[in-house]
Amino acid sequence: MTRPLLSLLTASLLVLLAGLAPARADDAATARSVIENQINAFLSDDMAAAYALASPSIQRLYPDPARFFDMVKRGYQPVYRPGNFAFGRSKAAQDGSDMIQEVIIQGADGQDWTALYALERQPDGSFRINGVQMIKAAAPQT
């Protein structure tokens, strides 16, 4: 991804986050559980379980669980095989329909990342993952 595009995406995300409110504790806990369950499915190579936690929009883009799994392996390696991860801030849309959950992830190579998960509330009230933006942590200053 080019720097101008990455800067534009980051700026857009910051604008989006500014329009969100802190998430309700029960919604944040539910969102974290969905993310953790998907990460555990990736770690277990359980394609069906990981795919089931993707939103209908993502499933339309990747109508086959194997294609979805392959996309994650190629483009989201820190999510596919994290070293460690911890949950950060969560924000919700004013109407409670969508959430952004920050996850700090250390990749298998030791590189730190911030993964911003977009979660979409489903008609049954559950959340599904509607995308992830990966932001590489800056190298420590020496």
Q: Are 97 and 4 in contact (CB under 8 A)?
A: no
Q: Is residue 19 part of a domain?
A: yes
pLDDT over 90 for what percent of the chain? 70
Q: Is residue 116 part of a domain?
A: yes
Q: Is residue 72 part of a domain?
A: yes
Give the model confidence (pLDDT) of 31-52 as tens digits.
999 999 999 999 999 999 999 9
pLDDT value at residue 102: 96
Domain count, the chain: 1
What does each C-alpha distance from 142 to 85, 107, 126, 136 come to in angstroms?
A: 24, 21, 45, 18
Q: Is residue 101 part of a domain?
A: yes
Task: For residue 39, give the CATH number of its domain.
Answer: 3.10.450
Give the model confidence (pLDDT) of 88-102 as tens digits.
999 988 777 799 999
CA distance 82 to 76: 10
Domain that holds residue 9: 3-136
CA distance 33 to 130: 15
Q: Is residue 141 part of a domain?
A: no
Confidence of residue 141 (pLDDT cuts 50, 70, 90): low
